[in-house]
Amino acid sequence: MRTQVGIIGAGPAGLMLAQLLHLQGIDSIIIERKPREDIEGTVKAGVLEQFTVDLLNEIGVGDRMMREGHFHDGIELQFSGKRHRIDLRGLTGGQRITVYPQHEVIIDLVNARFNTGRDIIFNVSEVSLHDVDTKEPKIRFKQNGETHEIQCDFIAGCDGFHGPSRLAIPDSIRKEHLHLYAHGWLGILTDAKQANPELIYSNHDRGFALLSTRTSTLQRHYISVDYHDDIANWSDDRIWSELHARTAMDGWTLPDGPINSKNIVQMRSYVLETMNYGRLFIAGDAAHTVPPTGAKGLNLAASDIKILATGLAEFYKSGSEDILDRYAEIALRRIWKAERFSYWMTSMLHRNPNHDSFERNIQLTELDYVCTSVAGSKTLAENYVGLPIQWENKSLIETK
């Protein structure tokens, strides 16, 4: 098989890249480890920045999102028994966030891919990358017991945190930063009424809780737990009792209902600084992960892809590798800011078991400051809705 860009991974990063390239007349082949039903059914992110919404609209996959998504002008922070609204829209000159589930984004992107007449090769195994430091890189993989090879001009490693792509960068030049957190997030999907018109992030003495939504009858909520805890220790009653306790307010009751899925995910911050090596470009969670507290992961995948697709389009148009050469530098400036924000939100909202009473009070005071100072609220708001890509040629990569 031969293509211009070989894409490993059909997550949001890989699928958005394929669509952007297609619109520039650039061919790609996507390979994916899982079956289609799995990628279309895995519950992950919920919050999209305006940049991501604009990008999905630009590539022609935004219709359902614009019809079925929920548009939120603010979020609420709860601590010391009170709730405070952060007016995202007012503080950022009109920007808002969109709550639309990641697996619906995937469904829309997969449909768009098939509508272009191009395939996605599902259920692949034993994926390996070859000759990435030459002009003829190759991907080998197995499907149904048979070995296949894709010869390409470029490889895009969009295979998430556990994928093999970044390991094709030699150890001697691969620079990585990893920070692990003591807690994980236990997430549920529940058939219940919407708790609040906007998301609520709560820092309670018993621990963190987040109330989010999917539809008017399906809600997505989270509580922080010890990452090593086993989901089998969490009966539905125990989960509801924690959610009720951590979000309690006088005169307000959290609507509950049957829980139809629950799991625990680890929180980590990770940055791969060598996002490209020869003709291999790494994007999305394969290159960086953030704790979900800032709702940034998928949104960072979108900005990586926009920069990478712009670079590839320039290469095929003029032969210039200027943008490709600067891909990591441009992307990392935004990535580090989102890493900083996600780390800050996590530290401010989660109880740290090692904190003494002084540090606990400093944490609550930080929240009080953020909610009562215009500068504090604005800092949170501009980061939450998403910072711009900073580059002197920014107009080249702005979404329409």
Which residue ranges make up the site for ligand PHB (CB under 6 A)?
Answer: 45-47, 199, 210, 212, 220, 292-293, 295
Which residue from 43, 331, 335 is spatially nearest to 189, judged by alpha carbons?
A: 43
- Candidate ranges 8-16, 68-76, 197-205, 308-316; the one touching ligand RFL (CB under 6 A): 8-16
Select which of 201, 222, 277, 327 is catalytic.
201
Report the residue number, 22 or 220, with the smaller CB distance to ligand PHB.
220
102 contacts ligand RFL (rule: CB under 6 A): yes
Which residue from 323, 324, 303, 310 is spatially nearest to 388, judged by alpha carbons?
A: 303
Active site (annotated) includes residue 327: no
Active site (annotated) includes residue 44: no
Least distance to ligand PHB, CB of residue 321, Å:
36
Rounded Cα–Cα distance for residues 202 and 192 (Å): 19
Rounded Cα–Cα distance for residues 349 and 275 (Å): 30
Select which of 222, 291, 292, 306 is catalytic.
292
DSSP string, 65-134: HHHH-EEES-EEEEETTEEEEE-HHHHTTS--EEE--HHHHHHHHHHHHHHTT--EE-S-EEEEEE-TTS
Select which of 181, 222, 277, 384 is catalytic.
384
Report the residue number, 161 or 391, with the smaller CB distance to ligand RFL.
161
Q: What is the amino acid identity at position 57?
A: N
For residue 153, the partner it binds in ligand PHB, ligand RFL, none, with Cβ less than 5 to 8 A by kind, is none
Long-range contacts of 259-263 (CB under 8 A, 24+ apart): 259/188, 259/189, 259/190, 260/189, 260/190, 260/191, 261/43, 261/188, 261/189, 262/186, 262/187, 262/188, 262/189, 262/231, 262/234, 262/236, 263/186, 263/187, 263/231
Active site (annotated) includes residue 142: no
Q: Among 20, 21, 31, 371, which residue sits at the site for ligand RFL (rule: CB under 6 A)?
A: 31
Least distance to ligand PHB, CB of residue 387, Å:
16
Largest CA distance in the chain: 66
Active site (annotated) includes residue 201: yes
Q: Among 5, 17, 21, 32, which residue sits at the site for ligand RFL (rule: CB under 6 A)?
A: 32
For residue 293, the partner it binds in ligand RFL, ligand PHB, none, with Cβ less than 5 to 8 A by kind, is ligand PHB
**Residues forming the site for ligand RFL (CB under 6 A):** 8-14, 31-34, 39, 44-47, 102, 124, 127, 158-160, 163-164, 185, 187, 265, 284-285, 292, 295-299, 301
Which residues are designated catalytic? 72, 201, 292, 296, 384
